[in-house]
Structure 1
Amino acid sequence: MNRNVNYLVKAGVIAAIYVVLVLVFNFSSFGPIQFRVAEALTVLPYFTSAAIPGVFVGCLIANILGGAIIWDVIFGSLATLLAAYLSYKLRKKAWLVPVPPILINTVVVGTLLKLAYGFQDGLIVLMSGVFLGEMVSVYGIGLILLNALRPVSKFIVDKELI
């Protein structure tokens, strides 16, 4: 398969899975206390750079379909893009891969909840809610996913990482 096509297919599949997970778990994917199961996919840059646009596009589409306001669609998705890129840069140490999504989303999404959505809770309270949800999704489910995919990683790992 052509290398570019392979890359696009990987990114597209990751984006699609992200969207489906957000929509299936819509009840917990939005709001002041978020537990976004799809955030577990933010560990996938450990295996492939295609996960960077994959989780970004997935987050963008999920936010639009989930009814997020424009500021959340833009800045929430850009936060995911930055986090995925930084996770990719940290892939040499698997236990560090979840750190960027957790920290960046804690700050960005917590701030969006306060400023863009106008939740009355304090900024620290809102950030704490996002932080806890991210910890469970990314460190909990995400690291389980990362370790579960390691035995089959030869099918998804970028050739330059081998």
Structure 2
Amino acid sequence: MKRSIFNIPNLFTSLRILLLPFLVYYINLHNTFMSLIFIIIITSTDFFDGFFARRFNQVTSFGAKFDTVADASFMVVSLLSLVNADYILFSLALIIISPKIISLVMIQNLNLYKYSAPLPAKLAAVFVYIALVLIVVEINILYIYYCIIISYIFSLWQWYNMIKNRKKYSS
């Protein structure tokens, strides 16, 4: 039986993508409060889509790929907006997004078709999300660097597990 792509988790993922223009708008206005509201809503949809997919047995191949696209879109769009609004330099945005790019390349090159984000990947994302919040509220850059370093540590753990368990996740 084929599962429908029209389900609650995919609605949350769609919402994440649809809210991105509003986030860009408020970041470029330097409206800290509204930028934070949209970051919180968007990152919450990342949690809820996975939660509802597993809870109600609505996990689909399309949903997993759509979620990955939405995650990458959120990170790239939000970071480029922060660069455009002079919150951060492009070099810092590149440092923040690099682990996500490396993970996507590894998934593709190691043929990890059945791969779903394990705990280290989720924790790495959480620390990137925290870094985004800290950037928007213009907290001391040192705390942002701490979040980035912690995110890299979790990413390294994720990459180690991907290589170690590649047979488990490959076709």
Greater relative contact order structure (CA < 8 Å, 6+ sep): 1
The interval holding the TM-score normalised by the smaller chain is 0.3 to 0.5
- The TM-score normalised by the length of structure 2 is 0.37
